[in-house]
C-alpha cells in the first residue's frame, strides 16, 4: 500500500500510512500539513525506519523521505515509473515493537501534540552550497544566487537602463553595460558568460558577454568582438590637488616590478598595497577595496508553503524552495515605493480584450503588497465599464465631477480626504477608482486633453501609482494624452486572435513612430488573460512567445471564473490566479 499525504486548499487532509488511515480538518492547508507530517515523523522515529511518502499539496505531487532522526528530504524518484520508485512507494513500515500505550498515542488522531517530539537534528537538510572565495578586485563579490541574465533597454539619447537580479541600474552608454555584464560574470563563482537581453527600436536581441573580455550577438555566434576598454581619466594638472585620499605611508619611489594593472593602467606592488588601504575615487564613482563589516542583508525567512513549510513549523530546518523564493522576489518588486509617482497605461485597440480586468487586478495586487496610494482611472469617454466592475462609494461622482474641483485640489489647503468626494474606495482591495460616466454618450461627456493633464496633476499629487484604463480609439486625443504621461505601457489581450492581433499592431505602430512611443512599446508588458476556458496551454504559449518578440515581457493569466463577469475582487480568485497576477505586477514593477 502506498504511503500518501493528501492536503487540499480547504484544510482537509488524509494520511495513508501502511494499513492505517488518518484524517484531519484544519482551518488552513498549512495546519493540516503540519498535523499529518508530524504523524509520519513520529511513526518513523518510533519504528526506526525511513518512510517513503508521496505528498499531494493541493494536487501538486512531491516525493518525500521521512527519517527516524526527525529529518525530511525530497526524493523525486518516488514520482517516476521506475521499479525502485514503485518499490519505495509501496513500502509499509514495520509493526512497532514498543508497549501498546505508545502505539495508541501514535494512533490517536485527536491529540498528536501529546506525543513529545524531541529537538530536530542539528544538521540542516539540503544545506546551501559553500560559496568559494571570489576575487573582489573587480568590485563587490557576487553570490552564486546572482542572476546570470540582464535586461538592457537602449534609449534614444544613448543611455541604457538595465534590470538585473530584481534591481534597476542606469548607464550612460552601451559600453558600460557590456563591461558591467563582464564584471557580473567574473563575480559568479562559476565564472560563466552573462546574457544581455537587449531591446531597441527594431526588436529584442541577445548579447552573450564572456568574463574573459569578449562578447557576441546570439544571432551571429561566430562573430566575437572585444569589449571596449574603459576610458582612462585624464592625468591631473601639475600642482592641482588630487581628489583621492592619499595614504599616510605613500612611497617616495616606485618599485621597478609591476604587480599587475587596474583600469587599464599598470601599478606597482607598493602602490597597489597603498590603493587597497585607501579610498579610491574614479571620477564620480566610488570603488571599494574591501568588504564592509556591516551586513545589512536580512536573514531569509523559513519556508511557509508545501511540505517545506510544514516541516519548518515542526522545527526542522529546510531550505526555501525555488518557487517560494521566486514568489518572495515578486512580492518585493511589487511592494517597493518609487521616488515620485508612476503612471501605467493599459491599452488595446480592440474592445473586450481584458483592459478593465487587467487594470483592476494590477491595482489590487499593487495595493495588497505595496500599501495605499493606488488609483485606477477610467480614461474612457465611450461607456467605460471600470465603475461597473468595482465597488461604489456613497456617491456617484465621476471624472466629470472632479474636473471643476481641480484648482481647489491643487491648492495648498487641499487634503487627501477631500478626494473621497470624487473617488470610490475599494474596501477589500484597498485602492481607489476614478470612474467615467458609462450612462452618457461620448458627446455628452466630452473630455479634452487639457482635462486629462489637469486630472493627472491632481492624481500625481495624492497617489504614488496611477493605473489608467483606456478606450479603444487610439486616435482619441485623451488616449494620446494618457500615453504622454505614461511611464509603463501594459498591453491587455485575451486568447482570441483579433484581440492579440490588435495588441501586436498597436505595439508595431508605436515602434514605427519612434522616440518616446517606441521606448514605451519595446519596454512594455503584455498580459494575456485566458478568458475562454477552452483555450489550451499551447494557445497561451504561442501568444506569449509571439509577444515576447515585441515587448519586454509577456505573462499569462490562467482562466478563473471570478474574472469573467460581475464585481471583481482579488481575494475571490483562486490562489493560483492570484499568483499569476503577482507575477504580472512584478513584471510591470521592474519597468518603473
Q: Using alpha carbons only, give the angle 159, 162, 168 rounded to the nearest 5 degrees.
A: 115
Query: Does residue 26 carry a pLDDT above 80?
Result: yes
Query: Does residue 73 carry a pLDDT above 90?
Result: no
Name residue 270's beta-bridge partners. Answer: none
What whole-number percentage of the chain has pLDDT above 70?
Answer: 72
Read off the pTM: 0.60
Closest C-alpha among 496, 574, 566 to residue 529:
496
Poorest-confidence range of 58-67, 135-144, 437-446?
135-144
What residues contact 233, with CB distance under 8 A and at least 6 apart? Answer: 282, 283
Q: For 205-235, what is each residue's pLDDT tens digit? A: 788 888 778 888 887 878 888 888 766 544 4
Poorest-confidence range of 74-88, 344-358, 466-480, 538-552?
74-88
pLDDT at 129 (0 to 100): 34
pLDDT at 136 (0 to 100): 33
pLDDT at 185 (0 to 100): 73
Name residue 62's beta-bridge partners. Answer: 55
pLDDT at 238 (0 to 100): 45
pLDDT at 442 (0 to 100): 55
Query: Does residue 103 carry a pLDDT above 70?
Result: no
Closest C-alpha among 307, 453, 428 to residue 367:
428
CA atoms of 119 and 117, how far apart (whole Å) = 7
* Mean pLDDT for the stretch of residues 14-37: 82
pLDDT at 290 (0 to 100): 58
* Mean pLDDT for the stretch of residues 417-433: 93
* Mean pLDDT for the stretch of residues 9-23: 82
pLDDT at 529 (0 to 100): 95
pLDDT band at 97 (very low <50, low <70, confident <90, very high): very low
Count the neighbouring beta carbons within 10 Å of the beta carbon of residue 98: 10
Q: For 148-206, what is each residue's pLDDT tens digit? A: 778 887 777 778 888 776 667 777 888 888 888 887 776 554 567 888 887 665 556 78
Closest C-alpha among 389, 352, 591, 342 to residue 494:
352
* Grid cell listed for 313: 513549523
pLDDT at 25 (0 to 100): 86
* Mean pLDDT for the stretch of residues 526-530: 95
pLDDT at 491 (0 to 100): 96
DSSP-assigned letters across all residues of 288-340: -SS--S---PPPPPPP-SHHHHHHHHTT---PPPHHHHHHHHHHHHHH---SS
**Higher per-residue pLDDT: 580 or 279:** 580
Contact 53, 40 (CB under 8 A): yes
* Grid cell listed for 152: 538592457
Q: For 382-423, what is each residue's pLDDT tens digit? A: 777 888 889 998 898 999 999 999 999 988 889 989 999 999
Query: Does residue 287 carry a pLDDT above 60?
Result: no
Poorest-confidence range of 252-261, 289-298, 360-369?
252-261
Coil vs helix vs strand at 587: helix
Chain mean pLDDT for the chain: 76
CA atoms of 482 and 491, how far apart (whole Å) = 14
CA atoms of 185 and 208, how far apart (whole Å) = 10
pLDDT at 587 (0 to 100): 95
Q: For 470-481, what is each residue's pLDDT tens digit? A: 988 888 899 999
pLDDT band at 555 (very low <50, low <70, confident <90, very high): very high
Q: For 582-592, what is each residue's pLDDT tens digit? A: 999 999 999 98
Count the neighbouring beta carbons within 10 Å of the beta carbon of residue 86: 12
pLDDT at 199 (0 to 100): 66
* Mean pLDDT for the stretch of residues 47-67: 81
Contact 53, 64 (CB under 8 A): yes
CA atoms of 197 and 154, how far apart (whole Å) = 11
DSSP 3-state helix, strand, coil percentages of the chain (rounded to 5)? 35, 20, 45
Poorest-confidence range of 281-290, 398-407, 541-550, 565-574?
281-290
Q: For 321-377, what is each residue's pLDDT tens digit? A: 888 888 999 999 999 998 899 999 999 989 889 999 999 999 999 999 999 899 999
* Mean pLDDT for the stretch of residues 271-284: 40
For helices 537-548 and 497-513, what crossing angle results, to 10°?
10
| Continuous H helices in 93-209 | 100-107, 174-187
pLDDT at 268 (0 to 100): 40
Closest C-alpha among 280, 302, 322, 364 to residue 563:
364
Count the neighbouring beta carbons within 10 Å of the beta carbon of residue 252: 4
Query: Does residue 260 carry a pLDDT above 80?
Result: no
What residues contact 392, with CB distance under 8 A and at least 6 apart? Answer: 424
pLDDT at 557 (0 to 100): 95
pLDDT at 552 (0 to 100): 93
* Mean pLDDT for the stretch of residues 118-135: 37
pLDDT at 131 (0 to 100): 33
* Mean pLDDT for the stretch of residues 83-89: 50
Amino acid at each position: 500500500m502506498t504511503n500518501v499525504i493528501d492536503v487540499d486548499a480547504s484544510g482537509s487532509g488524509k494520511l495513508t500510512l501502511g494499513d492505517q488511515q488518518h484524517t484531519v480538518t484544519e482551518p488552513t492547508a498549512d495546519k493540516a500539513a503540519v498535523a499529518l507530517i508530524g504523524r509520519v515523523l513520529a511513526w518513523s522515529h518510533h519504528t526506526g525506519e525511513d518512510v517513503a511518502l508521496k505528498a499531494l499539496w493541493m494536487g501538486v505531487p512531491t516525493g518525500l523521505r521521512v527519517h527516524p532522526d526527525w529529518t525530511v528530504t525530497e526524493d523525486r524518484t518516488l514520482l517516476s515509473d521506475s521499479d525502485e520508485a514503485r518499490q519505495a512507494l509501496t513500502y509499509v513500515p514495520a509493526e512497532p515493537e514498543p508497549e501498546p500505550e505508545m502505539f495508541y498515542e501514535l494512533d490517536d488522531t485527536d491529540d498528536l501534540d501529546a506525543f513529545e517530539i524531541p529537538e530536530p537534528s542539528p544538521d540542516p537538510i539540503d544545506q546551501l552550497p559553500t560559496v568559494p572565495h571570489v576575487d573582489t578586485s573587480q568590485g563587490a563579490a557576487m553570490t552564486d544566487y546572482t542572476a546570470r541574465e540582464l535586461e538592457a533597454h537602449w534609449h534614444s539619447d544613448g543611455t541604457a537602463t538595465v534590470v538585473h537580479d530584481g534591481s534597476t541600474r542606469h548607464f550612460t552608454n552601451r559600453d558600460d553595460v557590456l563591461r558591467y555584464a563582464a564584471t557580473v560574470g567574473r563575480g559568479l563563482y562559476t565564472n560563466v558568460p552573462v546574457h544581455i537581453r537587449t531591446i531597441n527600436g527594431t526588436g529584442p536581441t541577445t548579447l552573450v558577454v564572456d568574463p574573459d573580455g569578449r562578447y557576441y550577438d546570439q544571432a551571429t555566434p561566430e562573430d566575437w568582438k572585444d569589449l571596449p576598454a574603459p576610458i582612462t581619466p585624464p592625468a591631473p594638472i601639475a600642482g592641482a590637488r588630487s581628489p583621492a585620499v592619499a595614504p599616510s605611508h605613500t612611497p617616495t619611489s616606485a618599485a621597478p616590478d609591476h604587480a599587475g594593472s587596474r583600469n587599464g593602467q599598470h601599478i606597482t606592488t607598493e602602490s597597489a598595497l597603498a590603493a587597497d588601504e585607501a579610498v579610491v575615487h574614479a571620477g564620480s564613482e566610488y570603488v571599494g577595496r574591501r568588504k564592509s563589516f556591516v551586513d545589512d542583508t536580512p536573514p531569509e525567512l523559513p519556508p511557509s508553503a508545501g511540505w517545506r513549510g510544514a516541516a519548518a513549523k515542526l522545527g526542522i530546518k529546510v531550505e526555501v524552495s525555488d518557487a517560494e523564493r521566486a514568489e518572495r522576489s515578486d512580492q518585493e518588486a511589487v511592494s517597493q515605493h518609487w521616488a515620485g509617482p508612476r503612471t501605467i497605461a493599459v491599452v488595446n485597440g480592440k474592445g473586450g480584450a481584458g483592459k478593465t480586468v487587467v487594470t483592476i487586478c494590477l491595482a489590487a495586487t499593487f495595493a495588497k503588497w505595496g500599501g495605499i496610494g493606488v488609483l485606477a482611472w477610467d480614461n474612457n469617454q465611450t461607456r467605460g465599464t471600470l465603475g461597473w466592475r468595482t465597488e461604489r462609494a456613497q456617491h456617484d461622482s465621476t471624472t466629470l465631477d472632479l474636473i471643476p474641483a481641480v484648482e481647489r485640489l491643487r491648492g495648498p489647503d487641499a487634503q487627501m480626504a477631500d478626494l473621497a468626494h470624487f473617488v470610490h474606495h475599494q474596501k477589500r482591495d484597498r485602492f481607489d477608482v476614478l470612474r467615467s460616466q458609462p450612462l452618457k454618450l461620448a458627446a455628452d461627456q466630452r473630455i479634452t486633453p487639457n482635462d486629462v493633464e489637469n486630472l493627472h496633476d491632481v492624481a500625481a499629487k495624492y497617489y504614488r501609482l496611477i493605473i489608467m484604463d483606456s478606450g479603444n480609439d487610439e486616435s482619441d486625443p485623451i488616449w494620446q494624452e494618457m500615453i504622454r504621461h505614461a511611464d509603463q505601457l501594459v498591453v491587455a489581450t485575451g486568447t482570441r486572435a483579433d484581440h492579440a492581433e490588435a495588441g501586436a499592431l498597436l505595439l508595431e505602430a508605436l515602434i514605427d513612430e519612434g522616440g518616446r512611443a517606441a521606448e514605451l512599446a519595446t519596454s512594455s508588458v503584455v498580459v494575456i488573460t485566458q478568458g475562454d476556458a477552452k483555450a489550451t496551454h499551447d494557445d497561451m504559449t504561442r501568444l506569449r512567445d509571439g509577444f515576447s518578440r515585441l515587448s519586454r515581457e509577456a505573462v499569462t493569466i490562467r482562466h478563473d471564473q471570478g474574472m469573467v463577469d460581475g464585481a471583481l475582487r482579488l481575494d475571490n480568485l483562486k490562489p493560483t490566479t492570484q499568483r499569476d497576477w503577482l507575477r504580472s505586477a512584478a513584471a510591470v514593477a521592474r519597468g518603473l
